[in-house]
Amino acid sequence: MDAGFAAALALIALFCGNTNCPIASILLALELFGGKGLPFFALACAITYMLSGNISLYHNQLIANKGLKLGSLILPESGEEPISK
């Protein structure tokens, strides 16, 4: 992988994780770096969006209940079903 492309992926992933705005991040990637690496930019945004949590760079941003979060399940005793928070 080219070092410049890896740096572009890191920039877009960092922006997406900090702002919780994956669509804006993908559009920023398209504007800055062109459409050649679009699947990679979308994948990087999807991963960082899922891992980012409910905290955003913008304090007044209202974040809806995200469907898939790593810390969103309470693990019960063995043999029981997971319980959502």
pLDDT in tens, 29-39: 999 998 899 99
CA distances (Å), 33 to each of 26, 55, 73, in order? Answer: 10, 27, 37
Full-model pTM: 0.68
For residue 37, the cross-strand partners are none
Calpha distance 20→31 (Å, rounded): 19
Query: Which sequence spans correspond to the domains of the chain?
Result: 3-55+69-84
pLDDT band per the 50, 70, 90 thresholds, residue 66 = low
Asked if 28 contacts 12 with a C-beta cutoff of 8 angstroms, the reply is yes
